[in-house]
């Protein structure tokens, strides 16, 4: 049996989505036209909104209420999606590129043998030293 409450399962018609979000059906159509929300379409062309769509509509309404216009909302949503994508990429990179084994990490020469002595431990006379 399929779980009817899966967040991406399209369950709600436009009138129910409007009632759940407080956004009128015409504005829901505008959101769709602007690419802010993409409800599922049945074979007959009826819009069906998922719980994820309802959450996104609520987020859009909150952003609009804070003073953004639809273009600003598009930018915010795009930046949020990019942030999620980059975080996922960082997680994958951390997972795929584990640190080297401890024996290599603790090696006295970590730069391929090109280490130079520190100035305070240099061998031989210094420039201007009277001993040399």
Q: 16-47, pLDDT tens digit by residue?
A: 999 999 999 999 999 999 999 999 999 999 99
Q: 102-117, pLDDT tens digit by residue?
A: 755 555 555 555 555 5
Q: b/e for 21-39, b at 16 or more Cβ within 10 A?
A: bebeeebbeebbeeebbeb
Q: pTM value?
A: 0.66
Q: Is 47 exposed, middle or buried (0-12, 13-18, 19+ CB in 10 A)?
A: buried
Question: Can you list the domains of the chain with their CATH numbers?
Answer: 10-96 (1.10.1660.10)
The pLDDT score that the predictor gives to residue 127 is: 58
Residue 91 has pLDDT above 60, yes or no: yes
The pLDDT score that the predictor gives to residue 98 is: 76
């Amino acid at each position: 049996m399929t779980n009817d409450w899966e967040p991406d399962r399209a369950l709600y018609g436009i009138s129910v989505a409007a009632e759940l979000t407080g956004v009128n059906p015409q504005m829901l159509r505008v959101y769709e036209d602007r690419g802010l929300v993409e409800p599922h379409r049945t074979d007959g062309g009826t819009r069906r909104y998922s719980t994820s769509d309802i959450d996104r509509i609520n987020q859009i309404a909150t952003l609009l209420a804070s003073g953004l216009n639809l273009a600003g909302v598009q930018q915010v949503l795009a930046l949020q999606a990019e942030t999620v994508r980059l975080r996922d990429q960082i997680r994958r990179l951390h997972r795929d590129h584990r640190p080297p084994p401890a024996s290599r990490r603790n090696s006295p020469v970590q730069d391929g043998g090109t280490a130079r002595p520190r100035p305070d431990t240099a061998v031989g006379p210094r420039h201007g030293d009277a001993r040399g």
